[in-house]
């Protein structure tokens, strides 16, 4: 079974997240995608950060009716900042019978902005050794070229690009795949700003997420 792991602050989950993961699930024939909200995101400021339990509830409610999407609270259970390498290892170590009939092949999904930030992540080299990555490009006109130079300069000179397959391969590291996802102009920042300004967020987040934001009075 092929499964995607998609981490984020999800402050809150929005239709941009949902649109891209639906697209990647189909494009890479992933049977399942696990979304894991970061408990204490090391890269984002805590201003306007909704409590982890509320962000988790919003993710859970937002994907509840979608087939093949699951929410994981692994980062909620760990203390301290959430590091992706620890989460990958938690997924790999957990008994596969709890999620599938055979040991899953995991893929780490990330937006290009997160990918370009990866040099600041803990144990980035271990991440590239541990798990194939799918980088989601949102219609950037520059295409793969900036990713190729970034990998060459900051990750390893040993990666080779197969342009037809949009895939970087390496003898000691896991592949990095590129997926061109539809451009959806929604961000969590935009949602928080609209809520603060009493503007509608309908069509931008799933209805269940909007209900939680209202009920819990988040982002005011
Ligand atoms: P914020 O506006 O608070 O910075 P965000 O909308 O980027 O948040 P995150 O939870 O930080 O949301 O994003 C998790 C991942 O989803 C990141 O890898 C990011 O690149 C990706 N992502 C977020 N919004 C979109 C979108 N509209 N299209 C494609 N990828 C997205």
Please report the pLDDT score of residue 45 as a whole number. Answer: 67
CB 20 less than 6 A from any atom of ligand 1: yes
Banded model confidence at residue 42, pLDDT cuts 50, 70, 90:
low
pLDDT of 122 > 90? The answer is no
CA pair distance 207, 16, nearest whole angstrom = 14
Give the angle subtended at the CA of 17 by the CAs of 14 and 21, to the nearest 5°. Answer: 145
Banded model confidence at residue 44, pLDDT cuts 50, 70, 90:
low
High-pLDDT (> 70) share of the chain, %: 96
Q: Count other Cβ atoms within 10 Å, centred on residue 85.
A: 17
Please report the pLDDT score of residue 43 as a whole number. Answer: 66
Q: How remote is the CA of residue 194 from the centroid of ligand 1, in Å?
A: 16
Q: How remote is the CA of residue 42 from the centroid of ligand 1, in Å?
A: 15
Q: How remote is the CA of residue 36 from the centroid of ligand 1, in Å?
A: 13
CB 25 within 8 A of CB 68: yes
CB 62 less than 6 A from any atom of ligand 1: no
pLDDT of 41 > 70? The answer is no
Beta bridge partners of 34: 5, 70
- Ligand 1 atom index nearest CA of 109: 18
Where does 2-185 sit in CATH, by number?
3.40.50.620
Each residue's pLDDT tens digit, 169-216: 999 999 999 999 998 999 999 999 999 999 999 999 999 999 999 999
CB 113 less than 6 A from any atom of ligand 1: yes
Please report the pLDDT score of residue 23 as a whole number. Answer: 97
pLDDT of 121 > 90? The answer is no
pLDDT of 100 > 90? The answer is no
162: tokens are 């197969």
CB 11 less than 6 A from any atom of ligand 1: yes
Each residue's pLDDT tens digit, 56-93: 999 999 999 999 999 999 888 887 777 899 999 999 98
| HEC secondary structure over the chain | CEEEEEEECCCCCCHHHHHHHHHHHHHCCCCEEEEEECCCCCCCCCCCCCCHHHHHHHHHHHHCCCCCEEECCHHHHCCCCCCHHHHHHHHHHCCHHHCCCCCCEEEEEEEHHHHHCHHHCCCHHHHHHHCCEEEEECCCCCCCHHHHHHHHHHHCCCCEEECCCCEEECCCCCCEEEEECCCCCCCHHHHHHHHHCCCCCCCCCCHHHHHHHHHHCCCC
pLDDT of 97 > 80? The answer is no
Choose among 150, 178, 154, 151: nearest CA to 165. Answer: 178
Enumerate residues 6+ apart whose C-beta is below 8 A from 69: 21, 25, 32, 33, 35, 63
Please state, rounded to an integer, the average pLDDT across all residues of the chain: 92
Supply the pTM of this predicted model. Answer: 0.93
Q: Atom 25, ligand 1: which residue's CA is nearest?
A: 16
Task: Name which residue leads in pLDDT, 22 or 183.
Answer: 22
The answer to which of 45-54, 123-132, 137-146, 180-189 has the lowest mean pLDDT is 137-146
């Amino acid at each position: 079974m092929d499964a995607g792991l998609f981490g984020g602050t999800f402050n809150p989950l929005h239709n941009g997240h949902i649109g891209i993961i639906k697209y990647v699930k189909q494009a890479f024939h992933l049977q399942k995608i696990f979304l894991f909200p970061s408990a204490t995101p090391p890269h984002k400021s805590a201003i306007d950060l909704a409590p982890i339990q509320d962000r988790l509830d919003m993710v859970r409610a937002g994907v509840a009716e979608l087939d093949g999407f699951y929410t994981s609270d692994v980062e909620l259970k760990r203390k301290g900042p959430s590091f992706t390498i620890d989460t990958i290892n938690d997924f790999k170590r957990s008994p596969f019978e709890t999620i599938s009939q055979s040991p899953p092949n995991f893929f780490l999904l990330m937006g290009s902005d997160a990918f370009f930030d990866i040099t600041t992540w803990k144990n980035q080299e271990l991440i590239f050794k541990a798990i194939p990555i799918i980088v989601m490009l949102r219609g950037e006109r520059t295409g793969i070229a900036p990713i190729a130079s970034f990998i060459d300069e900051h990750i390893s000179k040993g990666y080779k690009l197969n342009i037809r397959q949009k895939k970087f391969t390496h003898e000691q590291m896991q592949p990095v795949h590129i997926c061109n996802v539809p451009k959806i102009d929604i961000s969590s920042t935009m949602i928080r700003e609209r809520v603060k300004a009493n503007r509608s967020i309908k069509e931008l987040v799933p209805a269940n997420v909007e209900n939680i934001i209202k009920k819990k009075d988040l982002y005011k």
